[in-house]
Structure 1
Amino acid sequence: MKECIIGIDAGTAFVKGLPVDASGTIVATASAPIPLSTPCPDWAEQRSEA
């Protein structure tokens, strides 16, 4: 198994991650949407446990 460093980007619409090996090669990528609720005009909410 290769040793890797994992990069994580937690944005407003998606969480993305990728492991990079010692030579700088991206081993894999993954992303998952973050649900966003807009209950009123100009409001935006995200559930912290989601």
Structure 2
Amino acid sequence: MNENTQQESSDSTIVDSVKNELKEIDAMDVSEHAARYETLHQKLQETLSGIDGL
């Protein structure tokens, strides 16, 4: 597996993880939603900023 393929796989895993965590928000108290969204948004920003060419 080359470096680009490994990075894409890692990025995809992070995105899948965030999607799963979003599904769990419904079970959380509403007062915790904003903090959770902020955490997930940060994960996505870090992942997207690591994509080559951006």
Q: Which has the higher helix share?
A: 2
Q: Which has the higher strand share?
A: 1
Greater relative CO (CA pairs within 8 A, separation 6+)? 2
> Which of the two has higher C-alpha Rg?
1
TM-score per shorter chain, which class?
Answer: under 0.3
* TM value normalised by structure 1: 0.24
* TM value normalised by structure 2: 0.24
